[in-house]
């Protein structure tokens, strides 16, 4: 398991963003993952067997490097692996990858929460790579740790990579010019994220107001509406009055939910 000291959650890596979301490759690897072995042993197995069917040695090396940097399968990301092992359909699994990968992908999380959601909330229609340039160029002013000094070419590739990741997760559509897609977080993913956030935050109001929901283009009001709906269907227990709220989930842990969810 990674230590706090080795976490890269506050480091901006152009490499991982440019390589993209790698959803299918990650799913294939995790479906065959051995949770009794170390992450290093599993990564070596993927490399040695070309489990993901990479078209070249360089691509195989890059994919496994991103996976190793992006996930902590001996710790917080075990439940994501377990769902892939259980055969969770990749389309249902995909929204969960976004939450897990942004635990160690500062720029993806920050871009979605603090830039893309703002564009969405203000009614923007079309998004181009050039639109991201002021945001990316301000990163050093925010004392964000960047892995290397970025050239103009790298900035363009990072901007394109961020928009591509958003499109891979269904938040945007289009190629050269992106548009916001009509996105709705599936109930299974919503329940999963509630269990995940409940492990991090004991206060229901903190869960409702968590910035992570903005990654799925949801504000606190929309989250609360979803909780009331799930309460109505007796999937959860949620009651709120003013600043007070009570939330009861069906399982005591995220892993327990991952083991029990109907696929």
**Residue-wise pLDDT tens digits, 103-134:** 989 999 999 999 999 999 999 989 999 999 99
Fold classification of 1-183 is 1.10.3540
Confidence of residue 31 (pLDDT cuts 50, 70, 90): very high
pTM for the model stands at 0.93
pLDDT at 144: 77
56-78 confidence digits (pLDDT tens) = 999 999 999 999 999 999 999 99
Domain boundaries for CATH 1.10.10 within the chain: 187-260
pLDDT at 153: 95
pLDDT at 6: 44
Higher-confidence residue of 190 and 7: namely 190
Give the chain's mean pLDDT: 93
pLDDT at 77: 98
Q: Which CATH class is domain 187-260?
A: mainly alpha
Domain boundaries for CATH 1.10.3540 within the chain: 1-183
| Residue 8 pLDDT > 80 | no
pLDDT at 9: 57
Spatial separation of the C-alpha atoms in residues 2 and 175, rounded to whole Å: 36
| Residue 55 pLDDT > 60 | yes
pLDDT at 2: 43
Question: In terms of DSSP bridges, do strands 178-180 and 126-127 run parallel, antiparallel, or are they unpaired?
Answer: antiparallel
| Residue 3 pLDDT > 60 | no
């Amino acid at each position: 398991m990674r230590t706090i000291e080795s976490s890269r959650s506050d480091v901006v890596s152009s490499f991982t963003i440019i390589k993209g979301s790698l959803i299918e490759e990650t799913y294939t690897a995790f479906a065959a993952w051995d949770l009794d072995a170390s992450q290093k042993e599993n990564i070596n197995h993927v490399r040695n067997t070309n489990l993901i069917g990479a078209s070249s040695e360089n691509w195989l090396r890059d994919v496994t490097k991103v996976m190793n940097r992006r996930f902590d399968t001996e710790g917080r990301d075990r439940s994501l692996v377990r769902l892939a092992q259980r055969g969770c359909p990749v389309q249902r699994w995909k929204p969960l990858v976004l939450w897990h990968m942004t635990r160690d992908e500062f720029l993806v999380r920050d871009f979605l929460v603090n830039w893309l959601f703002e564009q969405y909330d203000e009614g923007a229609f079309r998004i181009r790579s050039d639109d991201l340039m002021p945001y990316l160029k301000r990163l050093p002013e925010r004392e964000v740790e960047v892995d290397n000094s970025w050239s103009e070419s790298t900035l363009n590739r990072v901007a394109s990579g961020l928009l591509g990741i958003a499109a891979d997760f269904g938040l945007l559509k289009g190629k050269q010019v992106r548009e916001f897609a009509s996105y709705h977080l599936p109930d299974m993913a919503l329940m999963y994220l509630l269990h995940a956030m409940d492990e991090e935050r004991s206060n229901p109001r903190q869960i409702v107001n968590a910035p992570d929901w903005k990654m799925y283009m949801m504000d606190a009001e929309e989250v609360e509406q979803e909780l009331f709906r799930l309460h109505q269907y007796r999937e959860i227990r949620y009651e709120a009055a003013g600043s007070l709220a009570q939330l009861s989930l069906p399982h005591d842990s995220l892993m327990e939910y991952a083991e029990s969810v109907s696929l």
